[in-house]
Amino acid sequence: MRKILFTILSAAALTVSAQTGVYQVGNSDFETKWTNDNEPGNGWNSFGSANTSGLGVLGGIAKRSSKKNTVKTTGHNGSATAVQLKSSRIFGTKANGNLTTGTINMGSSTPTDESNHNYTDLSGEYKNCLFAGRPDSVVYYAKFKRGESSDYKGRFHALIHGNYAYKDPYETAENKAKYLIAEATVYADESSDWVRYSGAFTYTGKEDATSYLLASFTTNETPGATAYDEFDIDDISFIYNSQLASVTYDGANVSVATAMNVAKAYDPNKIVLTANGVGASIEKNYNATTGLLTITVKGNDVSVNPTNVHIYTIQFATASAAPKLASISVGGQSLADFGLTFNPATTTYTLPIAYHRGIVVEGVAGANSTLMRDEEFYETYALTENAFYNDHNKTIELRVKNSNGDERDYVLRFTDAVSATESGDYPGALSVVLSTTAEGSTTTNASPLANEQISLTKNSNGTYNIYLPNFNFSGLPVGNIYVPNVPLAGSAMNATRTIRLTSSEEMAVGAGLGHLPVVLKLNLISSAHKRLEGAIDIITTGTTNPILTRFSAIHVDCVPFTVNENAPQNSDDKDNKAYANQTLWGYISKASTKFIHLNEAAVRKPMTYVDMSVATLADDVTAEDLKQGAVAANNTLYYLPATSTLTGKNLIVNGRTTEFALNDAVAIEVPTQFSADKTSYDRNFTTTGYTTFALPVTTAASTLNGTVYELKGFNAARSAFDFAPVANIEANKPYLFEANNAALFANGAVTVAVANADTEVKTHTGVGVEQEGNYGETKVLASDATNTYYGYSNGQFVKATTGTLNCYRTAFSVANAAAGARSFAISINGTVTGIITLDNGTMSVEKGQIFDLQGRRVLTTKKGQTYIINGKKVIL
């Protein structure tokens, strides 16, 4: 509730009322004491004050019967009072609720009769509303409840008219044309909550020295249409606008702002001002000395509401004013940050930093001045660049001109860099993280590390310049990043600057990105060893550049080590990429270890190895640091520097690890052989038959839980593979295995030698038959014109048209020239057996098959004959 506001406005309105009228209707918050319980009074009238002379003796009855249609109710925002209009039935006739600033005329018992209307009664002070205002709109709060099911609304109708007893409705067209000044209609929808409604006034162009407001609320704009409606009304106010709507000077539009600038001399005949208020006034005050035009826009109700004023200024050029700058900034810093004092009359400044064309210089034009732009740059990039760069002279200029065409150059000179231990090139690698936002969802994509060096130079004022050449993102060449005047506090180099990207490469897009705010956070680990790490954020918030608007954030991470950029990469369907293996050089800090497995989780494929043997590990780096970000299931090998004291699974120092842990579900790659004090393999072996394996390890067969057999040859006469047990297993060689325990190794302390795992994993017989292993991801086997792959079915080898072979399993390949038999058997130490359940991932056979002595499967047996059952000769 705005009781205080209405009290002030009402007091002002009453002061003016006896003269020219009011600007707000009194008691429009309905808090002032009512005339009676059914009549708000003080500006608002209902049936209690209606004119019933046209009804004769029935007038008093009609008035008393209608009074109940206007009652008090709780107000908007919980205030004490609002008015509620009701529609009802009176003597069987539906009667609308009605509230007006004029007088209700009850002339007929028929609701639609034209003698029933509201009108401005000029015969009495409280029967009309003498109105001085020319409002732009009206606002009120309302709740509306329909009494019947048809679709209709509560209505507010306001008429501003001339000195005449105007009627609403049923005024004649002639009188409307003669007296109507303005009109507004605002409907209220059905709602059980208070709703704010507003509507604009439409003006006819008519005026009168004396004017009145005839405003009316009704439960239905159609007389006698409905009953039992309830229309709650509160806080009615008339709005008077007081802002500038438009400014034109010398035929050209000027964007409206609190402070405007026109680089021309002032001529009062050339300026056109319009306000957004119908009755608003505009006052102009021009100061010829300063060229400043002050514009004051006052609302139509300013006489009773003196705060309804808005002030604007336009700075015009003065004939005597020379062109000048109001300020200069370098890299987003003021000249004061460089120990310099700016003076518009001083046109040359020498900065205590080194020159580079990536330094951003910006200026603000002074009065009667306009910054000039580099037209060649604008034609190339469609961007405004106000600084002019001279690489030969190592200067940057800003140029301004006035309305007379006079020009002035402001020249910035620079100081050469000084020698320092910190200066030089810092090798390392970068990852660019691009974040894009679409439909409320943000997608982040980080590029794999790529080698880039960062250069540092020292300025004469003790600050440093950071130079990152040939920056790119998403394969798109961008340009050179140069961040000037960066302080060094301890090892921290932090700064927020504005930069411009430069490049001699024709395809680079950096220059077209304009001036870019960046946040720099670097850690100078060692100036002697040239080790640097940290991040750079390019701020895209608020940009309108079409390239930058694609990204909600651009983040650059730099690490103090370099990578093998030619290493293979894994990827996913979202274009995330991660290295499949990697070799690192340089310095690996604790903070930089999180980038070793960059994007690995996204592509869901582990690295096979990380070779850090020639790098330098920081003393505080842990094994957990090196493995952070890795896919959980992995066989990643970590080759550490010779001086490293780290131990753990697959951490290799000087060709040795405390434990070689092999994950059965993941491929392995061993670029450099090593030994292991302990070996673990998470594969569960079957103990009910034969299985196969091929591993990159060398160890005694006695350390395994079972018997190991190798392929010795092929017996063409019996169509059988010949196997024999071995005392030692060799790396990268396939074997047949009869397990007696689910674990491969007899105990956890088995010492093995791990060989290079990129060699061929095969055993040759010399007659076109091979046992073939697999270290990589699942291998698809398919017979072709040269070789046929064989698996097991019903105790014998049978041709496999297609199949798959998982990691560390084997299959058998037979040259087609040797594949005359329809099927093959297994012979161990010369004995043919059908006891094979070869667990190779896809191909298997069960025990219990019966064979003759030639290795052929027998479906029926004869008494007294010798057969092979479960690997033993049996006489039936």
Task: For 639-687, write each residue's pLDDT tens digit.
Answer: 999 999 999 999 999 999 999 999 999 999 999 999 998 888 999 998 8
* Gap between the Cα atoms of 209 and 803, Å rounded: 102
Q: Distance between CA 752 and CA 659 in Å, rounded? A: 10
Question: Residues 781-785: what's their mean pLDDT?
Answer: 69
Q: d(Cα 252, Cα 178) in Å, to the nearest integer?
A: 39
pLDDT band at 10 (very low <50, low <70, confident <90, very high): very low
**Is residue 770 predicted with pLDDT exceeding 60?**
yes
pLDDT at 49: 85
Mean pLDDT of 597-614: 95
Least confident of 85-94, 438-447, 638-647: 438-447
**Measured between alpha carbons, how far is 675 from 657 in angstroms, rounded to an integer?**
6
pLDDT above 90 covers what percent of the chain?
A: 57
Q: How far apart are CA 636 and CA 622, in angstroms?
A: 16
Task: Print the SS3 string covering 671-726.
Answer: CCCEEECCEEECCCCCCCCCEEEEECEEEEHHHECEEEEEEEEEECCCCEEEEEEC
Q: Report d(CA 736, CA 828) in Å as an integer.
A: 10
Residues 50-78 have pLDDT tens digits of 888 777 656 666 667 666 888 999 999 88
At residue 832 the predicted structure's pLDDT band, cuts being 50, 70 and 90, is low
The mean per-residue pLDDT over the stretch 519-543 comes to 94
**Per-residue pLDDT for 353 more than 50?**
yes
C-alpha 559 chain-centroid distance: 26
Residue-wise pLDDT for 192-234, tens only, equals 999 999 999 999 999 999 999 999 999 999 998 898 999 999 9
CB neighbours (10 Å) of residue 659? 16
Most confident of 56-65, 345-354, 806-815: 345-354
The residue written with tokens 């491969």 in the block is 744
pLDDT tens digit sequence for 291-322: 999 999 999 999 999 999 999 999 998 766 78
Residues 369-388: what's their mean pLDDT?
92
Query: How confident is the model at residue 771, as a pLDDT?
Result: 83
* Closest-CA residue to 551 (of 432, 436, 433): 436
* CATH class assigned to 3-239: mainly beta
Range among 36-50, 63-77, 269-283, 394-408 rated most confident? 269-283
Would you state the pLDDT for residue 446? 84
Average pLDDT, the chain: 86
Given this model, what pLDDT does residue 751 score? 63
* pLDDT recorded at residue 304: 94
CA distance 459 to 475: 33
Cis, bond preceding 169 (omega within 30 deg of 0): yes
Q: What is the pLDDT of residue 773?
A: 83
Q: Tokens 């092999």 — which residue?
A: 662
| Residue 373: band (very low, low, confident or very high) from pLDDT cuts 50, 70, 90 | very high
Q: For residue 111, how many other CB atoms are within 10 A of its CB?
A: 16
Cα 245 to Cα 707: distance, rounded to the nearest angstrom: 96
- The answer to which of 149-153, 467-471, 802-806 has the lowest mean pLDDT is 802-806
CA 530-533-536 angle, 5° bins? 130
In this predicted structure, what is the pLDDT of residue 872? 47
Residue 797 predicted with pLDDT over 60: no
Most confident of 23-37, 622-636, 737-751: 622-636
User: What confidence score (pLDDT) does residue 143 get?
Assistant: 96
Residue 820: how many CB atoms within 10 A of its CB?
9
Is 2.40.160 the CATH number for 424-559?
Answer: yes
